[in-house]
Amino acid sequence: MMTNGFAERLRVAISNAGTIQKLAERAEVAPRTISGYLVGKGDPSRVRLVALAHAGQVSVEWLATGRGVLDSHDSNANDTLRSFAIIPQLDPDAVSDELGEEIVRAGPIAIRRDWLEARGLCGQDMRLITAHGDSMQPTISDGDLVLIDTSVRELRNDGLYAIKAYGRARFRRLQQDIRGGVWVISDAPHYEDEHLGPAEADELRIVGRATRISRDV
C-alpha cells in the first residue's frame, strides 16, 4: 500500500505532465485509473508505479514513499511538499457527482498547509474552481479562483457553497428554512433568490463548501 500523501505526490506528477490525460497517455494507464488513485481507490502495481513516475518526471522512490528527492535536480522538493498542499483546478463545466471522476485542468496550485489548517481544511479534500458570471458579486467576482471543500457534500450549515446546476458548478449562498426547504441566494441584488421545497432540496447537488482565496495563501 502507498504511504500517506501518495495522492498529493501523484498530483505533482500530473502537474509535471500537464493534465491527467497526458500523464495517462505517457504511462499507458487509463485516466479513470489515475483519478481513482487520487481518491484512494486502490494502489498502482510496481510496473504501473514505475510508468507513472517516469511519465511524471519524478523518482519512483519519492512517488511511492515520499522519501528521497523528487528528482535529481530538486533536493528541496520534500521540504516544499511538506509546506504546501497541491490543489487541482477543476473544469466547472465538467464537475462529476463522484470525486475522482472530475475533469482536472492543467496547472494545480500550491497552497500553504498552515493557511488551510488554520481554517480547519484538509488539503486532500480541496479543489479549485474559477467563478464565472456576476451572480455572487461583490463576494465572488467573475474570474475569481474559489477553494472548495469537497468533504462537505450536503447542507450542514447556512453558508457559501458550490452547487451543480444546469451541468455547471455555480456558487450560491444556501439557507435552510424551518420546513426543510432551502433558499438559494445570489449576493448580487439584480438576481432573484430561489426557494426549493423539501423534495427539491433533497435533489440539490452540492459540490462542496466554498472559501474565497485571499492573497496571503
Taking Cα atoms as reference points, which of 88, 92, 101 lies closest to residue 13? 88
Taking Cα atoms as reference points, which of 41, 56, 61, 48 lies closest to residue 86? 56
Handedness of CA 129, 130, 134, 140 (dihedral sign): positive
Average pLDDT over residues 112-141: 89
Residue 97: per-residue pLDDT: 56
Average pLDDT over residues 174-193: 94
Residue 146: per-residue pLDDT: 92
Q: What is the pLDDT of residues 159-182, one digit of tens each?
A: 999 999 888 889 999 999 999 999
How far apart, in Å, are the Cα atoms of 183 and each of 91, 97, 180, 186? 26, 22, 10, 10
Q: Look over the chain and give the mean of its residue pLDDT values, rounded to a whole number.
A: 83
Whether this prediction's pTM lies above 0.85 is answered by no
Looking at the predicted structure, is the pLDDT value of residue 157 above 80? yes
Residue 56, C-alpha cell as written in the block: 511524471
CA contacts within 13 A on the Cβ side of 123: 23
Taking Cα atoms as reference points, which of 32, 37, 48 lies closest to residue 102? 32
Specify the range with the lowest mean pLDDT, choosing from 1-5, 78-82, 209-213.
Answer: 78-82
Strand order in the sheet with 104-112: 104-112, 84-90, 126-130, 145-149, 206-212, 159-165, 168-176, 182-185, 194-196
Q: What is the pLDDT of residues 11-59, one digit of tens each?
A: 888 888 888 888 989 988 888 899 888 888 888 988 889 889 888 888 8
Residue 99: per-residue pLDDT: 52
